[in-house]
Structures are given as C-alpha cells and as structure tokens.
Amino acid sequence: MEKIINEIMEKKIGDVEVNHSLAKYTTYKVGGKARAIVHPKNIDKLIELMEILGENDIKYFVLGNGSNVLFSDYDYEGVIIKLDNFDNIEFLDNEIVVGAGYSLVKLSNEAVKMGLAGLEFASGIPGTVGGATFMNAGAYNSDMKSVIKSVKVLTPDLKVINLTNTEMNFAYRDSFLQHNKGYICLEVTLKLWHGDKDTLEDIIKDRKLKRKKTQPLEYPSAGSVFRNPDGMFAGKLIEDLDLKGYQVGGAMISKKHANFIINTGSATASDIKEIVDYIKEKVYQEYGIKLRVEQRLVNWDD
C-alpha cells in the first residue's frame, strides 16, 4: 500500500493524507484511520487515481461531507476519495451547473440569493451535492429528484458521460448510483424556477428555527438514522417504545428527536452501531417492521 501511496504522490494527483483519522471527516466524529485520503485536483487526476487503484486492486470509498455515513472503528485499508476540489458553480438563468464537492447548504443559500426556488428543502442538509445526489436527499416533501436535470458521472470504464433525471432512477433516498458500483458523481445540472427572494429567505429562516427546536444540532450526529416506513415515521415508532435517552457508551438516542443518535462526546462507532441494531430489534419485536438504515455503514464485518 505504501508503494501505491507514493505513486499517487509522485503523479501529483492531489493532496494526500496518510493514516488519518476519519473522525475529522464525519459528522458523527467517529471512525478509524484511513490508509490514505486523496483529494484529486480535477477530473483528469481522478481518472489517473482510478487507474492506479484499479491496476492494483485497491478498494476505495468516495466520501462527501461525511454527514450520512458511519465508518467502523477499524482502520480502512484502502483509499478515501474526497472531491472537495470539484466545487465549480455556474448560473445559467434558472439552471445551475455545480460540482459534486459543493456544499448543499451553501448551494441552497446561493440559489435563494439569485431568486431561484426549488432548493429550500436542502437548506438544512449538511452534505455535498454529490452525496445528496447519490442518496436522493430530501426534506419537506421534496428531494434532489425534483430539481436535477442531469448528472455528469465517471463510469467504471473511466468515461465521462451525462445521465438524465430519468436514467438516474431516483426513488425515496435511492438512485442509480447506489446500485451501480464504480459510477462517481462529478457534476450536477439543476433546473429551478424563479421565485420571490424575500419569500424564499423567510421559508429558510422559519425552517432553521424549527430545526433548532426539534433536532439535536448541538451534538455530533448524522441526521435521521432510519428511513421512514411507508405511511409512518421512524422517529415516532422509536419514541413510542420509550427509547429516547437510551445510551451505550458515549452514544445516545436523542431526547429531542428519536430518529437521531448523537455523540455525547466520547462515542465510538461501535457504540452507535450497537444502538442502531438495538432499535432495529426492538421495533421489529414490537411492530413487525424492519427499519432500513438511511446512513451508509462502511468497513464493518457484517
């Protein structure tokens, strides 16, 4: 692996961090070390990186803002790819072309400044554009599917192509990218609509206040842990089992919102995972419902 890291550095792919804790790059603030975290400079350098990894059969994981992922406490014996440098943005009337590494919250705010409507739902989602597209992130009965026109991706055979909204196969917290390994989101074209700037700003302000009241924003977390079953709310099912405040080590089910697990300051990834499994077991025992984890579990044995 050291030889591979040296090759990545010699080819000046981008900044490289060696044996670096993943806690820095996840909103849970937990996780083991990564053998290498690479920040490719551009698409050409990303392609070079993928060629190196492919030729040497090195596993990799493309990480956005780390806001919807739970790495284990074990070291990740591969390469973490961060697309921070893919942060271009261009406004074309009511369309926005934006890089995968751009902050979704920042994008939502920039759209409102331009008097463009459609991204207000994203004003409180702390992810990147690429991560949000991968997950089809959403809130307030809207999601990325409702605003994406097309997605520029790198294919497994290292070709750059565009996928239409239809080809992305968006569904609830789901997309084509989740089921087709090796495709990497590079850039997204959004189609919004013109709106009243003051009205849009008021909507965002109101929702920010609501989040402060209903979500444990003062603690590290990764947002909603479970997807909502059809016609139900996962948080309500968990709350009705009187599980708010349930704690394992430094991890706890939020007393403010039952579908949030928070790091009270000393949590390990294993603490969080133990609570996730406990909730799934209790909900199934009581309701016969198999909750689906919304967050991505990476580098676990099971």
Burial grade of 108 (CB within 10 A; 0-12, 13-18, 19 or more): buried
**7 is a catalytic site residue:** no
Strands 184-191 and 148-154: antiparallel
Which of the residues 48, 120, 187, 294 is marked catalytic?
Answer: 294
Which of the residues 120, 173, 175, 254 is marked catalytic?
Answer: 173
State CA 207 to chain mean position distance.
Answer: 20
**Counts for the chain of helices (H) and strands (E), in that order:** 8, 18
State CA 196 to chain mean position distance.
Answer: 29
**211 is a catalytic site residue:** no
Strands 76-82 and 69-71: unpaired
* Measured CA distances, 96 to 72, 123, 194, 207, 234 (Å): 36, 16, 12, 23, 34
Which of the residues 67, 72, 108, 224 is marked catalytic?
Answer: 224
* Measured CA distances, 85 to 60, 144, 207, 234 (Å): 18, 22, 30, 36
Other Cβ atoms closer than 10 A to 92: 9
Burial 42-51 (b: 16+ CB within 10 A, else e): ebebbbbbbe
Contact 72, 23 (CB under 8 A): no
Cα first-last separation, the chain: 24
**292 is a catalytic site residue:** no
Burial 113-140 (b: 16+ CB within 10 A, else e): eebbbbbbbbbbbbbbbbbbbbbbbbbe
- Mind telling me the catalytic residues? 173, 224, 294
